[in-house]
Amino acid sequence: MLGEFEYLLISAAVGIGDRAYSAAIQREITATTGRRCSIGALYTTIDRLAAKGLVKTAMGEATPQRGGRAKRMVRVTPKGVQEAKSFYDAVTQISRRTLWAVKDTGGAS
Amino acid sequence: MTNLVELAARLLDCEDRETMLGDLEEAGESSWRRLLDISGLVIRRQAMLWQSWRPWLAAFGLAFPASLLLMGFSLTITQSFRHLGAPGHPANGFAIPVLLSQVGLLVGWSWIGGFVLASISRRTLWVSMVLCACPCLFCLARFRVPHLPSPCLLLFLLPAIWGVRRNFRAPVMQSRTAAGLALAVTLLTIFLSNGGLPNWILTWPAWYLAATAETSRV
């Protein structure tokens, strides 16, 4: 099963789509969670996910805003999508009778 | 600080360095934060390498014990050489062939040891080098053999460095060559064991090399 940060990374990459790369994923995670995500931690997690076959990486184009340096493009594999869905289902399932989930659905139990 | 960041980034692979510095530039991080992020990644990458058995074998199964044993053997060769040239030394028809065999074995053990060290775990080679250097420095500091210069302990270093360099330039060895080397080293080891137990600690790298010759790519 995925870890929390692995799930965030895969979700952010899928959300960004074909143009997902490390810095864009970092921005997405930071904006969503409100916590700073270090690039180093992101790279380590991408390596781990790539070793499990959940993402694939490739060198992308360089842009002036990056000082002319290349991007590390990230693409989620079908296996990665499946793992993220399993994680999401598990979290949703286990949370369904929690106070915060009940409040979100208008008090129904 | 910028120079320090560039220096730390040099510890990363070429592609990682390129993308990491680009990401940090794009994110507009401060120099201090860049240094922290890069150092963190370097440490994590090194830690991940040690999850495999290969760096452990290279450092503690080869570099450390081999440096101790090869220093001892270097000393033996130096003493044999001195005795050979000493006035009044009894003429012995075997002395020169034995000395030449010892030199050949030292070169063989050291060269193969260096080659295998780089082949088993190149990315943690620096740790293996530190583990090799520690006993060398310790023994050099305590060297007290009369009439012998302390650098004689380090005779094995040159062929060992040569072996490492050979692996960096051409990591693949023909299996026939590797098997020949392993056989030669083993025969010399047995020949020079004087009826005692042959030194298999220094000989296993030769057979590791022979066993992995066709697949030893980095």
List of chain B residues whose C-beta atoms are within 8 Å of the C-beta of residue A69: 18-19, 21-22, 25
pLDDT of residue B208: 93
Whether B217 has a pLDDT exceeding 70, the answer reads no
Mean pLDDT along residues B55-67: 94
User: Over the stretch A13-27, which tens digit does the pLDDT of each residue have?
Assistant: 999 999 999 999 999
User: Over the stretch B109-131, which tens digit does the pLDDT of each residue have?
Assistant: 999 999 999 999 998 999 999 99
pLDDT of residue A105: 64
How many CB pairs below 8 A link A and B?
66
Are B21 and A22 an interchain contact pair (Cβ–Cβ within 8 Å)?
no
- ipTM at complex level: 0.83
Q: B41: which residues sit within 8 A by CB, 6+ positions away?
A: A39, A40, A43, A44, B12, B16, B20
Pick the CATH number of A4-98 from 2.60.120.260, 1.10.10.10, 3.30.420.40, 3.30.750.24: 1.10.10.10
Return the residue in A5, A9, A37, A43 with the most chain B beta carbons within 10 A, the one to mutate for interface testing: A43
pLDDT of residue B218: 44
Q: B110: which residues sit within 8 A by CB, 6+ positions away?
A: B70, B156, B157, B158, B159, B160, B163
User: Over the stretch B119-173, which tens digit does the pLDDT of each residue have?
Assistant: 999 989 999 999 999 999 999 998 888 878 888 999 999 999 999 999 999 888 8
Return the residue in B23, B31, B38, B51 with the most chain A beta carbons within 10 A, the one to mutate for interface testing: B23
Which residue of chain B has the CA closest to A23? B23
Contact A68, A26 (CB under 8 A): no
Whether A108 has a pLDDT exceeding 60, the answer reads no
Residues of A with CB under 8 A from a CB of B: 22-23, 26-27, 38-41, 43-44, 47, 59, 62-63, 65-67, 69-72
Which residue in the set B18, B27, B40 is minimally distant from A70, CB to CB? B18
- Structure-token match 């005692």, residue found: B196
* Burial class (CB within 10 angstroms; exposed 0-12, middle 13-18, buried 19+) of B71: buried
Contact B113, B160 (CB under 8 A): yes
Run of H or E residues at A75: strand A69-76
Which residue of chain A has the CA closest to B41? A40
Mean pLDDT along residues B47-57: 92
pLDDT of residue B81: 87
Question: For residue A60, which phi and psi values (nearest 5 degrees)?
Answer: -110, -165
Q: How confident is the model at residue A109 (pLDDT cuts 50, 70, 90)?
A: very low
User: Over the stretch A36-67, which tens digit does the pLDDT of each residue have?
Assistant: 888 988 999 999 999 999 999 999 988 888 88
Residues of B with CB under 8 A from a CB of A: 15-16, 18-27, 29, 36-41, 44-45, 48
Are B40 and A41 an interchain contact pair (Cβ–Cβ within 8 Å)?
yes
Separation CA B74–CA B121 (nearest Å) = 26
Residue B114, SS3 per DSSP? helix
Whether B63 has a pLDDT exceeding 90, the answer reads yes
Separation CA A51–CA A67 (nearest Å) = 29
Average pLDDT, chain B: 88
0.80 surpassed by pTM? no
pLDDT of residue B98: 87
| Distance of residue B129 Cα from the nearest chain A Cα, in angstroms | 26
Are B21 and A65 an interchain contact pair (Cβ–Cβ within 8 Å)?
no
